[in-house]
Amino acid sequence: MAQQARAIRTRRMILESAATVFAERGYERTTIGEILMRAGVTKGALYFHFASKEDLALGVLDAQMLDVPLTPQEVKLQELADQAFLLTHRLQHDALVRASVALALDSGAISVDRAAPFQVWVDQVSEILMVSKARGELLPHVSVTDTAELFSGAFTGVQTMSQIMCDRADLAHRVGVLLQHLVPSICTPALLTRLDLTENRARQLGIEYDTSRRRRDEALADTHS
């Protein structure tokens, strides 16, 4: 059990090291040797977890995906906002998630399937919107696919602009503005007052997410001790 726990920590350390080097040098210029030096592990340890540099990159890209599920909401459309606000929190506080997004936008990483995280994000948003539509939360004209792709693309642009201008310090505010403009165009008016689209929601979700992850990690450590 202790050996398995060490393997989990080693894998995370290798991913974080690879993410840092990818962010500093770009994917194509990064070498396995640089990642090994940064991680302080042997080549055998790295290849035990990852078959290649491309496999490492895919692992970094996967870091964008939630490892603790969102809390279901009475109004399903709130979960759309919560997806955005929680990713906002993670972009501001998790270096691996920041590096994952940077890699997804690295046009030089031509050998990596950078479309995958975008498609996963679109699929997650589409699932929320489909349930919202079935519950009568959306206006009749709303196209689930078009709205999911618009929302995903708009978030990407907003977070990129925030990163360039102030290292994402104002990202929660910018995402709140995005939601306050987008959601009324798709939501049944009677539900708008029941939605929290303010940047305070990002802080609340961040606290809940960090607490859930800490409890999960503590439980995992207890299991493997």
Structure tokens at 16: 């974080």
> With contact defined as beta carbons under 8 Å apart, do 121 and 152 qualify?
yes
Rounded to an integer, what distance in angstroms lies between the CA atom of residue 184 and that of residue 186?
5
Query: Model confidence over 174-187: pLDDT tens digits?
Result: 999 999 999 999 99
For residues 176 and 126, the answer to whether their CB atoms sit within 8 Å is: no
Instruction: Assess contact for 188 and 139: CB atoms under 8 A.
Output: yes
Cα 213 from Cα 67, distance rounded (Å): 8
Kindly state the tokens that stand for 21.
Answer: 């080097």
Mean pLDDT over residues 49-67, rounded?
86
What are the tokens at 7? Answer: 């393997």
Report pLDDT digits (tens) over 104-163: 888 888 888 888 888 989 999 999 999 999 999 999 999 999 999 999 999 999 999 999
pLDDT-based confidence at residue 102 (cuts at 50, 70, 90) = confident
